[in-house]
């Protein structure tokens, strides 16, 4: 499971990785390995054992995505099935992906210059009152189009949700009506990192989400693996 905390004073994100103890299956040491530490056990981030899980935090540059996996006792690889996405490797397995959005660093506000004392001005005769104008009627801005959190669909991370929205799929209802061929086309046009994702179950999941049938959606997602 991934938890992200974007920092305000620099373009980085604190990512907390967590792995349930049952996934460790009796192992004694767990580390996070990925692109950010050269995939080596020696540089891997040690995970501390808590009550029900192993946890570790890493500060990563925002605005990009990183591949990672968990390694137990230096021999057994385990995936995080709540990752943002998954990428196939030449070794017949998938790497997990954590996708970090770009952040704008807010500069510290400048101190205001001290106000100068106003120079006394000779009194002037009172000006004539201007004719009273009726207040202009304010135009009501149109309401923003409704959007749903497409990341609630198993297999869809932040970047894929953005790709779908750019192609007019902004709600669960839109996704439920979408054709599988169209979804595959959108992913292929976004590049090879996204072409490998399989959207076959996304419309079915989206129809349940559109109805608000979260119990059935959760049951269906428990049967899936990375949205497949």
Q: Could you read off the pLDDT of 152-182 as tens digits, one per residue?
A: 999 899 999 999 999 999 999 999 999 999 9
C-beta of residue 100 within 8 angstroms of C-beta of residue 208:
no
Q: Report angle CA 113, 105, 112 to the nearest 5 degrees.
A: 5
Task: pLDDT band for 4, please (50, 70, 90 cuts).
Answer: very high
CA atoms within 13 A on the CB side of 35: 12
In this prediction, residue 222 carries a pLDDT of: 86
Question: Does the structure show a pLDDT above 80 at 135?
Answer: no
Which CATH number does 2-99 carry? 2.60.40.10
Domain ranges for the chain, please list them: 2-99, 150-222
Neighbours of 213 (CB within 10 A): 13
Question: Does the structure show a pLDDT above 80 at 98?
Answer: yes
Helix (H) or strand (E) holding 18: strand 12-20
Q: What percent of the chain has pLDDT over 70?
A: 81
Q: What is the mean pLDDT of the chain?
A: 87
Task: pLDDT band for 95, please (50, 70, 90 cuts).
Answer: very high
Task: pLDDT band for 196, please (50, 70, 90 cuts).
Answer: confident
């Amino acid at each position: 499971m991934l938890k992200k905390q974007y920092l305000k004073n620099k373009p980085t994100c604190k990512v907390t990785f967590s792995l349930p103890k049952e996934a460790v299956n009796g192992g004694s040491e767990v580390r996070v390995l990925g692109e950010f530490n050269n995939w080596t056990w020696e540089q891997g981030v040690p995970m501390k054992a808590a009550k029900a899980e192993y946890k570790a935090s890493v500060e990563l540059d925002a605005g990009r995505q990183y591949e990672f996996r968990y390694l137990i006792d230096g021999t057994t690889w385990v995936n995080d099935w709540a990752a943002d996405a998954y990428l196939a490797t030449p070794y017949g397995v998938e790497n997990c992906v954590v996708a970090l959005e770009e952040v704008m660093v807010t500069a510290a506000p400048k101190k205001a210059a001290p106000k100068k004392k106003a120079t006394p001005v000779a009194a002037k005769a009172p000006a004539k009152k201007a004719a009273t104008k009726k207040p202009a009627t304010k135009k009501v801005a149109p309401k923003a189009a409704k959007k749903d959190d497409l990341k609630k669909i198993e297999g869809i991370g932040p970047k894929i949700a953005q790709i779908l929205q750019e192609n007019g799929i902004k709600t669960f209802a839109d996704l439920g009506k979408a054709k599988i061929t169209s979804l595959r086309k959108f992913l292929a046009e976004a590049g090879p990192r996204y072409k490998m994702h399989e959207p076959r179950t996304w419309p079915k999941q989206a129809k349940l989400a559109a109805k608000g049938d979260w119990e059935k959606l959760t049951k269906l997602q428990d049967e899936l693996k990375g949205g497949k």
